Amino acid sequence: MANKEAQREKIPNPIGVSVPRIDAREKVTGAAIYADDIQYGPGLLYARIKRSPHPHALIKSIDCSKAKALPGVKAVVTGDDFPGYIGLYLQDRYIFCRDRVRYVGDPVAGVAAISEEIAEQAVELINVEYEVLEPVLNPEFGAGPDAAIIHPKLGEYVVANFIFPEPGSNISNHFRIRKGDVEGAWKDCAAIVEKRYQIPHVQHVPIEPHIAVAKVDENGKVTLWGSSQSPFAQRNLIASALGKSQSDVEVIAPFVGGGFGSKAGVSMESLAVAIATRVKGRPVKLRLTREEEFYTAFVRQGLIAYFKMGCDKDGRLLAMENRFYWDGGAYTEYSVNITRAAGYSSSGPYDVPNVKADSYCVYTNHPVTGPMRGFGMPEMHSGLEQCIDDLAHEIGIDPVQFRLLNCVRTGDTIVTGMKMHPTGLSECIEKVAKAIQWGEKAPPSAPNKRRGKGIAIMWKAPAMPPNAGSSAWVEMNEDGTATVGVGGQELGQGTFTVMAQMAAGALGIPYEDVRVARPVDTDYSPYEWQTVASRLTWSMGNAVVNAAKDARRQILEMVAQSWDENPDDLDIVNGVVISYKSEEAVPLKNLVIYGLPKPNDQGWIGGPVVGRGKFMPTYVTGLDPQTGQGPRAVVHYTTGAEAVELEVDIETGKVEVIRGVAAFDVGKAINPDMVKAQVEGGFVQGLSTAFFESLILKDGVLQNPSFVDYRIATSADAPKDIQAIIVEVAQDDGPYGARGVGEHPLVPTIPAIGNAIYDAIGVRVGAPPFSAEKVYLAMVDAGIIA
């Protein structure tokens, strides 16, 4: 027989291969699988919410008597019924408002009735008396001493030890970076650029709106069915707010119809649970309308950013001073960590010896902000990367060469004092520049068009607590197939397919023989922190691989005992245990459940095989609250670059992206086709925020809460040519060297487009979205056209 190494070369390896995506109905198992199939019974009630019409006001009184008297109404609840605070990193809000309202849409009361129509009628019958207060509508002003205080009890809130609120102000987190001597470095700079940028709020607009069904039984056990990225976080936060044990709260999360961060943490789900506590034994369904989705679910933070950066005569960056005012909205329980992430990434992916940064999360009376794909990095990089371009032009160096000169490389001491792990960022820049034919100017397609190219680079770390963990199990079946249990969620990104590939690769069975158990159910699924931060391939993937290896170990030890061989001489190849020593072979079928007989009918060896695995990073350290310095700020950074070529119509201001190129260092592409799909999708979503998306708020009131007035990019807006390039520099602690790439393609798109527009017409347009009107008026102001 050939030696072990040669034999292994013949094993079908599902890692790094674009296997087909798991089909939802053929490859998924579990109890109560599909939301459409779940039957809640004839006792189902429908909930609607009484919401604040004011951005900021005191609640003087609430009269629910007429609503309670309406036939068909089964329960009416207010904040008086639920005194507990809720929140992920900062517990700063009640389930229902108790003393004041802080944004238009703040939940004041809830109704459960036998139909949505009756519930809606009851909501209209609730009378609330308010004392209107001055709203705070600008984060920079809100951070100052003259702004009205939105959260007078900020100093009393429970907060994570890495979040730094400033009681007596509207600043819910202030993250600082102090590296080197910034003030002393300015005198050595040959060129200095200072800029101000502003980014608007945008909505995630998942096709499926938020929806939840909650039921509380007679013993107080809570069951919540919801479209959720965070079933275990929801279990923990809701249980804590209601004073319950986590074991008395079960969250069941079927497939999610789009999330992008909006369905992370807790938003409207706690409202359904709270109402259900008053109608025990009857399920309560709460569904956000599309209009509610726009301003009562999480929105992306707005940002006002100030950048100052300088370089020497050779173009080497010497100093950077950045100041960020994040518009966190009425409650910042999740978004305080976005501010933190922007702080520890505030230099961008550059080697800068002297950095000063202040990142402020500021309460305003705008909608509640939370995580969105990119987690603050698209907003921060939007201004930073345009500023980098301006500095390159100022010193007279090509923007690509300027980035290659200054980009972070393996071993550099980055902005927090951490040593940079191996990274392929420079390779990403070079590949993107080559693909976009940087330095070659193609003629425009018409006399009234101007053509330009732009580039931007990025980095992003998984923004999470230092001890966010994952777990998994691998259960063998009688026929030799395996069922994998995970607590992470499938959002359409293909994580179940990748988990099946990893399990198959580590176990030694065909990919087709792996099933992923569904739905995620906190009573039965293994623990997973959340499906956020582009961390599942890396973190949950490690747990799955460890579980598969544990199952493999059990199988090989069982067979080795039966054959009287050393487990090191055995292998599992394509679902068959083989011996490289004796050349024995036995399929997994039956033995992984029933074991193997001892010689001469003297008993049995083994039994049902269930592998267990877990993963938690143990090496992330705290950072000094005054300087932001520490040995290990994050687990790792995914880096990348994007470039675009576009045309500007100088008669109308319309911009057309002709082609886009993106390259990202993913460590190892477990499924290359899915990596490319993530890159292409992220690019188009970034394009959407660059050209179309903005929540228009006037005095705290949203003016465009529908797809009539809030446009997102469609396939008609996407360029015909999008090239996705995979770079692989292995992550030392990643499964097979992999790290995440789900959010990252959205990050550099706005500045790449902004830089290309500047290359085309020589004008900075300002804040996105870069509408035709805005581009046209910028050209008029610059005197390019009359």
Mind telling me the catalytic residues? 743
Is-contact 610 551, C-beta < 8 A? Answer: yes
In the structure encoding, which two tokens stand for residue 207, read together? 């096709």
The C-alpha atoms of residue 647 and residue 527 are separated, in whole angstroms, by 49
The C-alpha atoms of residue 370 and residue 327 are separated, in whole angstroms, by 11
Residue with tokens 């999008």: 722
The C-alpha atoms of residue 250 and residue 255 are separated, in whole angstroms, by 16
| Helix%, strand%, coil% for the chain, nearest 5 | 30, 25, 45
Segment holding 123, helix H or strand E: helix 116-125
The C-alpha atoms of residue 373 and residue 185 are separated, in whole angstroms, by 35
DSSP at 711: -
Helix axes 425-435, 399-406, angle to 10 degrees: 170
Ordered strands of the 514-517 beta sheet? 28-29, 514-517, 482-486, 470-476, 610-615
The C-alpha atoms of residue 215 and residue 40 are separated, in whole angstroms, by 9
The C-alpha atoms of residue 705 and residue 707 are separated, in whole angstroms, by 7
CA dihedral sign of residues 487, 491, 492, 493: negative
Q: Where are the beta strands (DSSP E) in 589-717?
A: 596-597, 604-605, 610-615, 638-649, 655-665, 697-698, 701-702
The C-alpha atoms of residue 715 and residue 698 are separated, in whole angstroms, by 31
Helix axes 772-781, 749-761, angle to 10 degrees: 40
The C-alpha atoms of residue 248 and residue 220 are separated, in whole angstroms, by 7
The C-alpha atoms of residue 79 and residue 98 are separated, in whole angstroms, by 5
- Cis status of the peptide bond prior to 769, with omega within 30 of 0: yes
* DSSP annotation string for 158-203: -B-TT----TTSSEEEEEEEEES-HHHHGGG-SEEEEEEEEE----
- Cis status of the peptide bond prior to 519, with omega within 30 of 0: yes
Is-contact 57 131, C-beta < 8 A? Answer: yes
